[in-house]
Structures are given as C-alpha cells and as structure tokens.
Structure 1
Amino acid sequence: MKMEIALVILVIAVIFIIRSMKVVPQQNAWVVERLGKYHGSLTPGLNFLIPFIDRVAYKHSLKEIPLDVPSQVCITRDNTQLQVDGILYFQVTDPMRASYGSSNYIVAVTQLAQTSLRSVIGKLELDKTFEERDIINAQVVAAIDEAALNWGVKVLRYEIKDLTPPKEILHAMQSQITAEREKRALIAASEGRRQEQINIATGEREAFIARSEGEKLAAINNAQGEASAITAVAEANARAIEVVAAAIRQPGGEMAVQLKVAEKAVEAYSRVAADSTTTLIVPSNMTEVSALVASAMKMVQSTSKP
C-alpha cells in the first residue's frame, strides 16, 4: 500500500516538474497567463512555471516574417484600374501587444496594407505609378507602421510585386512606346544626316581654303620669280651699258661706234630692200645717211658723259 502511494506521489511530482519546465527556442517569445491574466513573457532558454496556475497562452516568432498581400484592384487618379499585389515584411517587437492588441495581427496588417495601397495609388496618375514605386512602397510602410505599433508589430518594408493595367491600357502603352522609339530613331537618323552635311561642308571649306592658300603662294612665287628675272635683266643691261660706255671712252672708241652705227644702218636698208612687198624710197641726197649717223653719235656722246 505504501509502495502504491509513493508511486502515485512520484508520478504527480514528475507531472509537476514537466509542466513547470518550459524551454523557449531562440528568436521566440511565449506569453504566460496566471489565472487568466497576463503575467509575463518567457525569453529563450529554460523557464519555470507554476503548474495548473500558469499557462502559455501565446507563442510568437521574433523573426522577420514575409507576408503576401493578396492582389487587389486599385483606381488611379485618372480613373484607370490597376491590378496590384505585393509582399510585406514585418516583425513582432512586443509579444504582449501582439497577443492582446489585436485578435489577429496578421489579418490586421494585411487589411491595412491593402487599404493604404489603394489610398496611395488613388493619389497618382497611371504613368506615375510605374515611375514612383519606391515612393509608393515608402508611403505604404509609413501608413501601416504607425497603426501597427498598437499591435506590437514593426513593419520593415513593403514591395510591389506586380502592376497590371487592363489589356486596352496595356496595348495603348505599347503603341505609345513604339511611337516614341520610332520618333527617337527618326531624330537619330536626321541628326546623322545633319552631321554628315556639316562634315561635308567643313571638308569643302577647308579644301577651298587650302586651294586658295596654294594659289596665293603660287602667285607670290611667280611674282617674285618675274621680279627677280626683271631685276637680273636690268642689272645685265646696266652692266652692258657700263661696259659700252667704258669702251667708248677708250681711244678710237667713237670711231668704232660710228662704224657700228653705219653698219646697222646699211643692214637695215638692205633688209628693207630685200623685202619684195616693201617699197623703198631712197633719199635723193645720200648725205642724209651720214647726217643720221652723226646725230646718233651725238646722242652716244651725250649719254657717255658723266
């Protein structure tokens, strides 16, 4: 009999020990109620409770939780319908509020994310919704996080997964994109032709300048050559005249000049007479020839004097 009583006491003691010992995993928090009232939160590790008086009412994970926000239809500022779905990341920061602040904080966060998203989308036009996703995400997070503090939840971020406009709008957007691409292609082609014409004109101008510079240099060189030739001829004539003048000053120089002039005169008369088409009129007084020679000698004498 005593053995049976001891065995019963041992079993009761084991049950008490088992029910009083609680091992909480890492990144978890368990909410304890004592006689139906919130008593405290168990931290990770070994914890002890009073059996039949304390009980674990709620278990919360403190890890970051991804939550799919169901797809919904939102209406933009310009009355265009958009099918939007996203994903929300949140974390339980206060186990007590997460247990008693809302009957289901996950459903509350989800519903608030949907209503906040509809409100933000309704303030934007269709084109802006595609361009300002980061702004939309930030505004949704700010709207949810403010209300989620009472539920012991911290909203970390919200990301839009997909924005799907109606088929008609999507077709119109694709047509607009195609038109914009064709426009850019035409502009690029015209810019290419414009640049080509500018390059051709620049090349022709530079070629014309180069030709004109070459012609200018050639004209200068020709002029300088002709001037040098004229100068050389003039210098040669001057030297010849100086030599002739010096020869005339020598003894017998005048007689030589008279003889040379007489020879030239006779030679001229002979050439004129030799031409059958020329009518030669011989002076009646041949002394005029000697007078011509005498006048030429006077000119030579006058030029030879210093």
Structure 2
Amino acid sequence: MFTLFVLFIFFLLYKLMLIVPMREVNVIERLGKFRAVLQPGFHFLIPFFDRVSYKHEIREQVLDVPPQSCISKDNTQLEVDGLVYLKVMDGKLASYGIENYRLAAVNLAQTTMRSEIGKLNLSQTFSERDKLNESIVREIDKASASWGIKVLRYEIKNITPSRHVIHTLEKQMEAERSKRAEITLASAEKAAMINLSEGERQEAINVSEGQKQKRINEAKGTAQEISIVAKAKAEGMQMLSTALTVNGGHDAMNMQLKEQFISQVGKILETADVSVVPAEMAKLEGFFEGMEQVTHAVSSSSAKSNTVKGARS
C-alpha cells in the first residue's frame, strides 16, 4: 500500500513539473482549451487539468521538396526539386492555424515553383536561379504568415530537362562551340594578316627610307666631288695663269698641248674602226694628189707634141 502511495506521489510530481528543452516550445491546453505557450525552461502544471498538446521545433528546419514536372515559358518540360528552410515563429498559430505546416510548406513550395518556372524560358531557369529562389520565398512567405512560421529561403537543387531536350541542348552547345572555334580561328587569321601587312608596310617604309638616305648620300657625295673637282680646277687654273705670266710660259704651254694632241691622236688611231687622219695629213695627201695630176698632164702634153713632130717630118 505504501508502495502504491509513493508511486502515486511520483506520478503527481511528474505531472506537476515540466522541463521544456532549449530547442522547442510546448503548447499547453487546460481542459481542452489553449492556455499558454511554454518557452524553454522549468514550469509547473496542474495535474489532470493541464497537458502538453503540441511540441514545436524552434530551430531552423530543412524540408525536402520532391521532384516535380514543370513546363517553362517556351514549352520545355523540366523536372525540378529543391529545399525549403523555415522556422516556427508562433507556437499557437503553428498548432491551430494549420494541421501540418511542414506538409503545407512543401506543397506550397511545389505549386509556387511550378508557377514561377512557367514565367521563365529554359535558359532563364538556369541563369536566374537566385531570382527564382527569391520569388518562391516571397510567395510562400505571404501564404505562411497565418501559420506562425517564417520561410527563410528556398534553394533549387536540380533542374533536369527531358532526354529530348538534353539531346537538343547538347547539339546546340556543340554548334555553339564550333561557332566560337571558327570565330576564334577567323580572328587569329585576321590578326595574322594584319600583322603580315603591317610588317610588309614597315619593310617598304624601311626600304624607301634606305633608298632615300642612299640617294641623299649619293647626292651629297656627288656635290662634294663636284666641289672638290671644281676647287682643284680653279686651283689648277690659278696655278696655270701664274705659270703663264713668267718667261717661257707660253712656249711650255704650247709644247704640252702638242704632246697631248699627239698622244690623243695615237689613241684614236689604235682604237678606231675607220681611218682617221689629222687635218694636216689630209692637206698633205691633197698636195700629192695635185702633183700627180700635174705630172699626168705634163706627160700627156709631151706625148702629143712628139706625135705632131713626127707627122711633120
């Protein structure tokens, strides 16, 4: 009997005292009616009148959204799944505002995701994941405000197109890679041709500059040569005029001119293909021809006189 009494006392104490863990809140009902939401810590209850109706996790919860089929704006079938991160903010609303907030959050995430993907093209679903996640969180948070929960964020895990779409995308990517390769090759050839033309242009400029400098140098050399020759001739003429003023200068000059004349005539006679005779020689030849004609004339006159004399005798 004493044992039963002790057990009854322990049972009362168990019903009287309540320790709420740090990670959750407890919803207390008294005689079936909501009384309070007990925060973490030690609490007293009225046995047989108060009871813990709901226990809610107050830490951030992660719910897996199963894959579902979606249709994008360009009529492409996609299979999308994700994760919902939420937290219980009000234990009373989470208990009495909805039957199962976890299931409701998952279903709402699926329908919202399907609606948001229907507004985007296939390429946008891959490139604008952040905007898509923000849109889904915003829409879920509006509906879940009366459930006492707060949707912190939504993350899309996988976006999987159908096999046909994947095959089409692979062909498109292959064509895009080929296009980029051809563009790169054409750009390289263009750059090579530009570099080659620039090299040829620079080479032509260098050659023309070299030829220009060469002509300038030749002109300067010729001018310098003419200047030196003219200067030498002027000095020679000066020396010659000085020499002519002394006694015997004119005779020496005439002798030198005759020597040069004889020398030049000899060179011309050696190299010329026709007979070149000086003017004095030509006059001498004419003299001899005249003498021969006179001789012939005298001989003819003598012969005629002898013939006449014989006829007379």
Place the TM-score, normalised by the shorter chain, in its bin: 0.7 to 0.9
The partner residue of 2:89 within 70, 88, 93 is: 93
Change (3 A) 1:128 1:248: same
Q: Which residue is 1:143 aligned to? A: 139
CA distance in 1, matches of 2:49, 2:38: 15
CA distance in 1, matches of 2:118, 2:268: 124
- Note if 1:190 corresponds to 2:191: no
SS where residue 120 of structure 1 aligns? helix
The partner residue of 1:70 within 66, 75, 86 is: 66
Q: Which residue is 2:307 aligned to? A: none
CA distance in 1, matches of 2:146, 2:86: 14
Q: Which residue is 2:149 aligned to? A: 153
Change (3 A) 1:274 1:147: closer
Deviates more, 1:249-258 or 1:97-106: 249-258
How many residue pairs align between the two structures? 279
Deviates more, 1:174-183 or 1:115-124: 115-124
Amino acid at match of 2:283: V
CA distance in 2, matches of 1:262, 1:180: 98
CA distance in 1, matches of 2:260, 2:228: 27
Deviation per CA, 1:200-227: give whole Å up to 9, x if none.
Answer: 1111111111111111111111111111
SS where residue 157 of structure 2 aligns? strand
Q: Which residue is 2:223 aligned to? A: 227
Q: Which residue is 1:277 aligned to? A: 275
CA distance in 1, matches of 2:106, 2:9: 46
CA distance in 2, matches of 1:264, 1:66: 125
Deviation per CA, 1:77-123: give whole Å up to 9, x if none.
Answer: 22222111111111111111101100111111111111111111111
- The 5-angstrom pairing of residues 151-300 of structure 1 reads 151-261=147-257, 267=262, 271=266, 277-279=275-277, 280-282=281-283
Amino acid at match of 2:179: K
| Post-superposition offset of 1:254 | 3.4
Q: Let me know the Cα RMSD of the aligned residues.
A: 2.4
Deviates more, 1:124-133 or 1:24-33: 124-133
Change (3 A) 1:183 1:274: closer
CA distance in 2, matches of 1:80, 1:262: 117
CA distance in 1, matches of 2:218, 2:33: 120
Change (3 A) 1:193 1:274: closer
| Post-superposition offset of 1:271 | 4.2
SS where residue 236 of structure 1 aligns? helix
Change (3 A) 1:270 1:178: closer
SS where residue 283 of structure 2 aligns? coil
Change (3 A) 1:201 1:259: closer
- Note if 1:122 corresponds to 2:118: yes
TM-score where L is the length of structure 2: 0.82
Work out whether residues 272 and 278 of structure 1, in 8 Å CA contact, stay in contact via their aligned partners in 2: no
CA distance in 1, matches of 2:69, 2:169: 19
Q: Which residue is 1:113 aligned to? A: 109
- Note if 1:34 corresponds to 2:22: no
Deviation per CA, 1:245-278: give whole Å up to 9, x if none.
Answer: 111122343344345456556x379849977933
- Note if 1:60 corresponds to 2:61: no
CA distance in 2, matches of 1:238, 1:34: 142
Unaligned 5+ residue runs, structure 2? 286-313
Amino acid at match of 1:281: A
TM-score where L is the length of structure 1: 0.84
Change (3 A) 1:13 1:254: same
Change (3 A) 1:278 1:23: same
